[in-house]
């Protein structure tokens, strides 16, 4: 072996990581489905909380349609815009609160999120039974303790179901 020639070892992954990014492109917020979402009013502290099984961008399109056709109060958001003459920014003022594929759990989380909001503008009629069942609890002084318990139970239930799916599969 020639003493002038030196052998060097290199990990290909280091070179690959310098050339290629590990990060995936973030998909737009509105390309999510099975979510509980929040839209904030630009004219007041009002907040609309909703849930959708479909892509969020399709639900936002429905909200835009409802707001443009204010003669019918199809959603609480459209009614709020009509009654208060406020605006909502459906492009930048939306946030996803929870991702949940299961319809029943998503509806329960929607009710919980509506109750957590002091300035919710929702009708609260689409889940009347759940809302009336929980409303006295959320209006009492135990609200903050019970809210944490409900959230803990929800996440505990989610963990249980995810573990039981692993054993079934």
Q: Is residue 5 part of a domain?
A: no
Rounded distance between C-alpha atoms, residue 97 and residue 110, angstroms: 9
pLDDT tens digits along 137-149: 555 555 566 666 7
Query: Would the pLDDT of 134 be above 70?
Result: no
Q: Is residue 74 part of a domain?
A: yes
Task: Determine contact, residues 93/42, Cβ cutoff 8 Å.
Answer: yes
Q: Is residue 9 part of a domain?
A: no
Confidence class for position 167, pLDDT limits 50, 70, 90? very low
If one compares 26 and 63, the residue with the highest pLDDT of the two is 63
Task: Determine contact, residues 86/80, Cβ cutoff 8 Å.
Answer: yes
Q: Is residue 100 part of a domain?
A: yes
- Residue 98: strand, helix, or coil: strand
pLDDT of residue 51: 94
Domain residue limits at 86: 29-168
Q: Is residue 11 part of a domain?
A: no
CA 62 to chain centre: 17
Arithmetic mean of pLDDT, 133-137: 56
Q: Is residue 108 part of a domain?
A: yes
Q: Is residue 8 part of a domain?
A: no
Other Cβ atoms closer than 10 A to 39: 21
Q: Which of 54-58, 120-124, 157-161, 162-166 has the lowest mean pLDDT?
A: 162-166
If one compares 115 and 62, the residue with the highest pLDDT of the two is 62
Task: Determine contact, residues 134/111, Cβ cutoff 8 Å.
Answer: yes
Place of tokens 């996440």: 155
Domain total of the chain: 1
Rounded distance between C-alpha atoms, residue 104 and residue 67, angstroms: 28
Q: What mean pLDDT value characterizes the chain?
A: 77
């Amino acid at each position: 072996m020639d003493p002038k020639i030196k052998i060097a070892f290199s990990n290909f992954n280091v070179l690959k990581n310098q050339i290629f990014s590990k990060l995936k492109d973030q998909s737009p917020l509105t390309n999510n489905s099975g979510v509980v979402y929040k839209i904030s009013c630009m004219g007041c502290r009002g907040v609309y909380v909703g849930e959708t099984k479909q892509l969020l961008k399709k639900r936002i399109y429905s909200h835009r349609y409802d707001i443009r056709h204010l003669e019918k109060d199809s959603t609480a958001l459209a009614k709020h815009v009509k009654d208060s003459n406020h605006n909502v920014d459906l492009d930048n003022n939306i946030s996803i609160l929870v991702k949940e594929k299961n319809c029943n759990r998503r509806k329960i989380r929607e009710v919980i999120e509506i109750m957590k909001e002091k300035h919710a503008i929702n009708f609260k009629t689409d889940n009347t039974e759940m809302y009336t069942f929980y409303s006295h609890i959320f209006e009492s002084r135990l609200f903050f303790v019970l809210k944490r318990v409900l959230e803990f139970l929800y996440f505990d239930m989610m963990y249980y179901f995810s573990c039981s799916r692993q054993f079934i599969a």
